[in-house]
Amino acid sequence: MNFASDNAWGAHPAVLKALSDCNEGAVGSYGADPVTARAEAAIRDLLDAPQAVVRFVATGTAANALVCAQLSPPWGRVYCHDSAHIHRDECAAPEFFSNGAKLVPIPGDHGRIGPDALGQAIRAGATGSLNDGAGALVSITNATEWGTVYAPADVAALAGVARDAGLRLHMDGARFANAVAGLDCAPADLVRGVDALCLGGTKNGALAAEAAVFFDPALAQGFDYRRKQSGHVFSKQRYLAAQMLALMTGGLWLDLARHANAMAARLGQGLARSGAELLAPVQANEVFARIAPEAHAAARAQGAVYHLWQDVPPGPGEPVAIRLVTSWATRDEDVDRFLDLIG
């Protein structure tokens, strides 16, 4: 009953087999190998972006930080949701790698930024004063830190606001697969108007593999040097690429995300039946709910693992806000046992 994170689970067998398969023989290093070439091509095909530049790194933090640094100067303002991973969970890596870009958090219900709020924030920062820096980038997360999603029309609306202001648009897609699965849309439809996507693999069955995707090759100029300087150009690059290629093959990446989403839906429905309060719509593989203190104590006593949700701290004797994350490996029986404990 581990619902702490989709990072808590291991790699899918197909990923492990791909690593074993690519371990045979000697190939070119630093990405000059056929596995990397095939993985890059598979992601371009997936996103219907034949000209895109695709580069692999080992962590989501590296992907986000390096892409934000690529798209924002040191004096840039980067607009994001106030619960965004780049704002709360990356130890100021985007600021560090950009040599000083300023993150500007924007509130919004359930982890999403609305176009009106974004426009207002951009206008507020566009004073023309050197003191405020200059608008450079908008960063959105899909699926969000609240387990909600931006539909294609939502992304397009935000892209329009960013474009009108002369800003680039970055998408943190650590859970991009879950967003696509939840929306049942074409992956390409979810990145229209996006300048760069950080496509996650680690949370979706890989060991450690993420992809930075630049849809306009001109935006990737110099990125290879930036990636090298950060220590994310691996000499044995094929081991990162093989993981992503395995996920892309036969639609495995989407099958795994669909399973994780289905487990979250099962959890959400069961919690609602038990009288728990759902704090956000269940649209991907995260569930946020408020449960009775005694239910929380009973679940923890029986070994259930999950995090308290810091955005909704409880008062004495009040219901406890929790976050439950499902993965490609979550089992029906673990979901049902958890629901029995708190029901």
CA separation for the pair 141, 150 (Å, rounded): 8
Least confidently predicted of 65-69, 128-132, 187-191: 128-132
Task: Kindly give, in sequence order, each residue whose CB lies less than 8 Å from that of residue 130, ignoring residues fewer than 6 positions away.
Answer: none
Q: What is the pLDDT of residue 161?
A: 98
CA separation for the pair 338, 270 (Å, rounded): 10
CA separation for the pair 192, 281 (Å, rounded): 24
pLDDT greater than 90 at residue 312: no
Q: Kindly report, residue by residue over 85-110, the tens digit of the pLDDT.
A: 999 999 999 999 999 999 999 999 99
Q: Which one, of 126, 121, 123, 154, lies nearest residue 140 by Cα?
A: 154
Using alpha carbons only, what angle is made at residue 219 by residues 216 and 222, rounded to the nearest 5 degrees? 135
Q: Which one, of 98, 192, 105, lies nearest residue 153 by Cα?
A: 192
Q: Kindly report, residue by residue over 23-79, the tens digit of the pLDDT.
A: 999 999 999 999 999 999 999 999 999 999 999 999 999 999 999 999 999 999 999
CA separation for the pair 122, 167 (Å, rounded): 9
Q: What are phi and psi of 334, to 5 degrees?
A: -70, -40
Looking at residue 153, its amino acid is A
CA separation for the pair 186, 152 (Å, rounded): 9
> What domains appear along the chain, each with residue ranges and CATH number?
13-250 (3.40.640.10), 253-342 (3.90.1150.10)
Q: What is the pLDDT of residue 342?
A: 87
Answer whether 178's CB lies under 8 Å from 143's CB: yes
Q: Kindly report, residue by residue over 313-329, the tens digit of the pLDDT.
A: 776 778 999 999 999 99
Q: What is the pLDDT of residue 266?
A: 98
